[in-house]
Amino acid sequence: MEKKSIILPMDMLNVPTSLVAIGGEGPDENINLPGPYPFVVAADSGADLLEKFGVSPDVLVGDLDSISEKNGFLGLCKEKAKTDKDESDFELALMKVDTACYDLIGGGGGRMDHFVMIWSVFLRFSPPRFWFTKHDFLVSFKHIRFSLPVDTLVTVMAIDEKVVNAKSKGLKWELDNFPLSYKAVSLSNRTDEEVVEIEGDDTLFLRMDINDHGRLEILSLC
């Protein structure tokens, strides 16, 4: 099966980006991660996800209570946290990242409190550039211009409590200074033109089905 790849502009390929893998449901192996990554960190069972992709972590953090005992990366460099700890494994992983941005895999499905914790970490640290789960692909942006087939479902949502005024060109229901927030999400919008442009006065997430991500071409992103 041919791997699905997101198409990125050349200037994005030269930006040093770390890869962070966490527990929870992640993408299948038919997804081509947009590396190369100069630094890879796995949080606990995130190492099991990396093993599926044949990617070796530089650092393995967490209490290692959910990683497979058969994982071949267990013998690599690891920093074992105390069982009783204030930080989540995801936080411990982000504390090791020293690049300006990171991509995230994992974190889908599972317990609702885990999902809420992941989102709270975005608020305290920073959101990932790209987030891959088993069913979702998300891009964080203030301004994005991209190409997708017409009629592809997309959702645009705010990341934190601040109201973000957004405008768009190429969506079925244009945002036109629509105040996105926790209370207002552009849910299951869809592309009305092949090229779509969205801009907000603060950071937003663009979400699409993981199976649509391989049809995505990002023309510009900031």
Any idea where the domains of the chain sit in the sequence? 1-134, 140-222
List, for residues 69-98, the tens digit of each pLDDT value: 566 666 554 454 444 456 788 999 999 999
How far apart CA 79 and CA 180 sit, in angstroms, is: 39
Of 216, 156, 150, 148, the closest CA to residue 186 belongs to: 156
Going by their DSSP bridges, the two strands 31-32 and 4-5 should be labelled as: parallel
The reply to whether 140-222 shares the fold of 1-134 is yes
**Cis peptide before 179, with omega less than 30 degrees from 0?**
no
**What amino acid is encoded at 54 in this protein?**
G
Q: Domain 1-134 in CATH: superfamily?
A: Thiamin pyrophosphokinase, catalytic domain (3.40.50.10240)
Give the H or E element holding residue 40: strand 40-43
- In the prediction, which pLDDT does 86 show? 61
- In the prediction, which pLDDT does 72 show? 61
Of 199, 207, 195, the closest CA to residue 164 belongs to: 199
Q: Is 112 helix (H, G, I), strand (E, B) or coil?
A: helix
Is 11:3 a contact under the CB 8 Å cutoff? no
- In the prediction, which pLDDT does 71 show? 64
| Residues lower than pLDDT 50 in the chain | 77-78, 80-84
Is 34:101 a contact under the CB 8 Å cutoff? no
Question: What's the pTM?
Answer: 0.91
- In the prediction, which pLDDT does 199 show? 97
**What amino acid is encoded at 103 in this protein?**
D
Largest pairwise CA distance in the chain: 53
Residue at token pair 């090229």: 195
Which class would CATH give 140-222?
Answer: alpha beta
Alpha-helix runs per DSSP H in the chain: 10-13, 46-53, 89-94, 112-124
- For residues 31-48, b (16+ Cβ closer than 10 Å) or e, as one string? bebbeebebbbbbbbbbb
**What amino acid is encoded at 8 in this protein?**
L
How far apart CA 60 and CA 75 sit, in angstroms, is: 10
Residues 6+ apart with CB under 8 A from 129: 17, 101, 102, 103, 139, 140
How far apart CA 23 and CA 25 sit, in angstroms, is: 7
